[in-house]
Structure 1
Amino acid sequence: MSTIKIADALSGILPEGLSVRITAYDGSAAGPQDAEIGIELRSERGLRYLLTAPGDLGMARAWVAGDLTGTGFHPGNIYPLLDLMSSTDRWRIPTAREALELVRGLGWEHLNPPPPPPQEHLPRWRRVMEGLRHSRARDAEVIHHHYDVSNRFYEMVLGPSMTYTCAVYPTADATLEQAQEHKYDLIARKLDLQPGQRLLDVGCGWGGMVRHAAKHYGVKALGVTLSREQADWAKLAIDREGLGDLAEVRFMDYRDVAEGDFDAISSIGLTEHIGIQNYPAYFASLHDKLKPHGRLLNHCITRDHNRPTRTGAFIDRYIFPDGELTGAGTVIAKLQDAGLEFQHAENFRTHYAKTLAGWVDNLVEHWDECVAEVGEGTARLWGLYLVGSRIGFERNDVQLTQVLATKTTDDGTSGYPLRHTF
């Protein structure tokens, strides 16, 4: 039988002075009674999640399963809680002796780990059965895990643009849809797209860039994605907009595209899935598909440093299995090593924070519909993920970098003007 009250145990690891009220299923409570933010541990299973997977993974499991809830915020937007909890570096890390006393006081029976929520992917060590990291089979499986949730769910969260990448806000008061349109147009201008040219968009998602290039620039655009649901949705959108003579989306690995001599290539949000050790082959492949003087625009999440880092346990198990990030310097270096000439780079970190806030607003607005579509656990998962990502961009833990490069010929000509024209 427990000798320590659960709320007291949880409050012991929170930063001192944090205005959060904690309540637990054993009837215990801790923290200021007038706190605007509250955390409630609703079940013994939730406690077992927290004790058997300390850190973000255990909290995510308890949150997704509904064993951990709160007050003072919407379940689709827990920004008030996560912002408060991440705004301090005063977390109490128990010593080994303190941790032992804590578990002894709560009861050894709580160290029996419950099955994780169904939304959780296999741990890294078990994914070997799906193939080596970033093999074709394993890449296809992890893309399916994240992107083939439900097209209707994505329509509600992403909005009419169906664009799941960082928007670029022309003004602070621009809407999410205006910012996504501006992003696509900025990329088109950076690539200097002209009527009659050919564009390859790798990792094309629901075909937003493909359709924009075809509709507004008269470009013959081909997009490829490893998500069958994305490809099916994109094909319907292309037909609906009457763009079938210019735009095409294929359910295909970018490495299997047989065509070459493209005037331009856009890669918007694919590099995060490639694996840092595969950057040389990735950029070499894109280099080979470009015609001389062709342009490449690479748009991806980066770190604020150039040390290769894997994502944390929560992101790896629930969002982007096998995901890896590094800094813009590494991206540019590998791009140069593949024979491409670097022309321009830009960091849109703060724009991604605004984009994520917009997606969270959409999730909250359509909460009941989202829960009906994918279940409450998945809806709660996305609220946690989107808010946590927003805070990461706000705190400069992650950035968003666009890099523009050309396939410069051996005689040194690149086709690039003296000054940028975009």
Structure 2
Amino acid sequence: MTRMAETADTARTEPVTLPTARTCPFDPPAEYARLRAGCPVAPLKLTVGPGDGDGWLVTGLADARAVLSDRRFSHRNELIGLPIPPPFAMAGYAPPPAAPGAFIKMDQPDHSRYRRLLTRRFTMRAIAALTPMITELTREHLDAMARHEGPVDLVSVFAEPLPVRVMCAMLGVPDAVRARIEGPLALMARMTYEVEELISACTVVAEALRELVAAKRAEPGTDLLGDLARDPELTDEEVVNLAWALLGGGFDTTANMLALGTFALLAHPEQLALLRARPELADSAVEELLRYLTVSHLGASRAALTDVELNGARIRAGDTVVVALPAANRDPAHFAAPDRLDITASAQGHVAFGHGEHQCLGQHLARSTLRIALPMLFERFPGLRLATAAERVPLRTDMLHYGVHELPVTWDGSASA
């Protein structure tokens, strides 16, 4: 039986379920605002996990940043419970420890040991050097889009394939391998699937990456996987899992932001007009879209390694803490008008990429892709508009990262050259 959560003043509160109901495609569930105002560290029901099913939901920005930067909260896979129903029956399931190389689900020192192998490829300077490549790939996809008479689905023709090609070019994943793993990785990004589907998808990705690593061992090249393949201290399993972690983390996140960000700008024409009139606002616009939309809608989960008191709540060792990133990014204690999209406002301090030592390794790549792709899209198609009613756009509430399944668009007049 799940115990009722204990706060520091010994009051007890019934656990809540993770809010999921949205009334606007761009706003997080309204329940977050109520919790943030009245119970910013709220007891949370878990569906699967270690311990006795106790969890906590953090909705304020200051508390979110505190949890994500505190090593008393672990990121280890085997310690963390699930706040959402599992994709299939998991009675008696115990999440396994992270496999060698799967650094995202590890704590120090293993996490930093693996992450250091990758960091130099993801610095701001290294990503800036990729600008010509990202620009050229963006142009290729816009050219292909322009050959359609419209309407087209922006997700399938632009928002999804562009970030995937950028990531694969950086890692050194050939087109043939990319084609093999795109579908399986997309399945694993869903919240529901059959166990047989998962086994098949994992098998395909593992086999493709093992073959790729073997090829890189023979001819490393100058890409990121080539760097890893040259390292004699890394096993093939470690290189495969490092590649898997990067591809799994980068395939759908930037794609969702690119599609959802386009949707948001089309739905806020005054903000789009401002961006078109003042191209120098591109950086600010991207940061504001990241804050305002926050595609990591299920939050960031940690497990308490010891008893911790957080904003009046007494969190016990073993409890799972879910940091509601969308709620934290709408915190009125930090952002002047948190529920309004304003590309001229400061989004400094947002946690769309997380915070602390586990902050998204690929954040600069994601930013660069968005900063290049969004302005180029609207410059190439000055008459771009939705080809369906906004309320008919299908939302990715059923995916691990939020976004839109499709975004039908068309444009007035001809696309610019």
Q: Which structure has more strand as a fraction of its residues?
A: 1
Whether TM exceeds 0.5 here: the answer is: no
TM-score (norm 2): 0.28
Which structure: larger Rg?
Answer: 1
